[in-house]
Chains A and B, each alone.
Chain A
Amino acid sequence: GAGVSQSPSNKVTEKGKDVELRCDPISGHTALYWYRQSLGQGLEFLIYFQGNSAPDKSGLPSDRFSAERTGGSVSTLTIQRTQQEDSAVYLCASSLAWGVSNQPQHFGDGTRLSIL
């Protein structure tokens, strides 16, 4: 597709369940980002991938969160043993790798996660 694609668009699950969120970046974009958008915290940067490598995972909120990227394309963000405070919109973005910092990030529509 032409843009960043995220699935599912909405996810409702019970507290304690595991969830997996998917992001398919723009073709040719090797840099990929995950953000969390919640009412209380605004937009938080979670993790960045350059290719399949994530150099810094310290932005992940807890050890229940993990992310991976394979084949330099699709990325998944997994949340284990979900808690109500995990409810938020999870946004994915991608950008060209060259001169990463000055390249604009293109965002997907996000996944709205609701924990009951």
Chain B
Amino acid sequence: AQTVTQSQPEMSVQEAETVTLSCTYDTSESDYYLFWYKQPPSRQMILVIRQEAYKQQNATENRFSVNFQKAAKSFSLKISDSQLGDAAMYFCAYRNPSGGGADGLTFGKGTHLIIQP
């Protein structure tokens, strides 16, 4: 079974600075999908960014980018120019494509990101 590990239960960063959240995963598959979700206190899980394993180029979405290291099975999230609205729980998630959707997402335990004004 796949596992996702987020080793940082909590991270703190000054507003306008850059922070990197770590994620590692374990899989025997060669093709899969990786996601970062944000969960503010409102509870809704919001997709931040996604990466297809077969793509070598790291995904970027405005201030959010990933460092995808397939050989190391690492998928870190970098948030540039941190804003107060970025404060939330961040979850790294893995998806195996071979299940056709039936296996859902496997989530890490999450990292609580605090933004210091």
Contact = CB atoms under 8 A, between A and B. Distances in A.
B111 to A, nearest CB: 12
Nearest to B96: A101
Interface residues of B, number: 28
B102 A93 contact: no
Contacts of A110: 43-44
B82 to A, nearest CB: 23
Interface in A67-98: 89, 91, 93, 95, 97
Contacts of B98: 101
Nearest to A103: B101
A43 B108 CA distance: 8
Contact of A105 (B103, B105, B106): B105
Interface residues of A, number: 29
B50 interface: yes
A74 to B, nearest CB: 19
Interface of B: 33, 35, 37, 42-47, 50, 52, 91, 95-110
